[in-house]
């Protein structure tokens, strides 16, 4: 775990120092065997904001979206913050540890990836298609759906409005709230820029 933390810290340091030369290091870290390092690289790439990371990040999100899906584990006292339903865990008896680990990471990587790609500001058609799917897929963890809605609001493409309108009716509060905020961000009228000299006193 110590080696994992060191690699995670290295990713964070590249973004913290705005080190554009460290982009190849972060891109390589997207293939790290430890999903925690991949998570740190995703976050760092979003913070760095280099649009060259868009395609590799999208490829990673697509791969994560194809991982097996399972229901939420039971929690004492209720579900996650914002959830209205509690779902029991549903691992088949022959589920391998590798598959369980894929389940543990999937929400975290997808959530971080949605937000990182939104920070890059490159709303390609494939990215929007993936975000639309994640925003409304009820099999996804709520944090993934909410992050997808937030990312769509940040990218502010009018084509996303039907999807976001649907997401405003999500039974989970966080997702519905992020969807409403995203709809407002896309439909908000652009304030006209006032030229300062129009209001300056005449001499």
Across the chain, mean pLDDT equals 87
Query: What is the value of pTM for the model shown?
Result: 0.81
Say how far apart CA 128 and CA 126 lie, in whole Å.
6
CB-side neighbour CA atoms (13 Å) of 202: 1
pLDDT above 50 (res 78): no
pLDDT band with cut points at 50, 70 and 90 for residue 102: confident
What's the rounded mean pLDDT across residues 182-186? 96
Band of the pLDDT at 141, cuts 50, 70, 90? confident
- Residue 77: predicted pLDDT: 45
Band the pLDDT of 81: cuts 50, 70, 90: low
pLDDT digits (tens, 9 = 90+) for 106-130: 789 999 999 999 999 989 999 999 9
Radius of gyration of the chain (CA): 20
Task: Please report the pLDDT score of residue 91 as a whole number.
Answer: 77
- Which has the closest alpha carbon to 170: 64, 82, 77? 82
What does the pLDDT read at residue 71? 58
pLDDT attached to residue 147: 97
Q: Which domains are assigned to the chain?
A: 1-67+100-122 (1.25.10.10), 123-187 (1.25.10.10)
- Poorest-pLDDT segment among 7-11, 49-53, 77-81: 77-81
| Nearest residue to 112 via CA among 171, 35, 24, 22 | 35
């Amino acid at each position: 775990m110590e080696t994992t933390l060191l690699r995670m810290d290295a990713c964070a340091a590249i973004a913290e120092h705005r080190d554009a030369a460290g982009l190849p290091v972060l891109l390589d870290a997207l293939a790290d065997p430890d999903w925690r390092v991949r998570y740190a690289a995703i976050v760092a790439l979003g913070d760095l904001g280099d649009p060259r990371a868009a395609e590799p990040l999208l490829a990673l999100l697509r791969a994560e979206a194809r991982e097996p899906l399972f229901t939420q584990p039971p929690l004492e006292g209720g579900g996650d913050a914002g959830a209205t339903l509690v779902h029991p865990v549903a691992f088949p008896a022959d589920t391998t540890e590798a598959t369980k680990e894929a389940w543990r990471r999937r929400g975290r990587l997808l959530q971080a990836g949605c937000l990182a790609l939104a920070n890059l500001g490159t709303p390609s058609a494939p990215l929007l298609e993936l975000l639309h799917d994640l925003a409304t897929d009820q099999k996804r963890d709520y944090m993934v759906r909410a992050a997808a809605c937030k990312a769509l609001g940040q990218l502010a493409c009018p084509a996303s409005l039907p999807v976001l309108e649907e997401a405003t009716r999500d039974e989970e509060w966080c997702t519905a709230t992020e969807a409403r905020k995203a709809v407002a961000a896309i439909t908000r009228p652009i304030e006209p820029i006032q030229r300062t000299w129009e209001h300056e006193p005449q001499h």
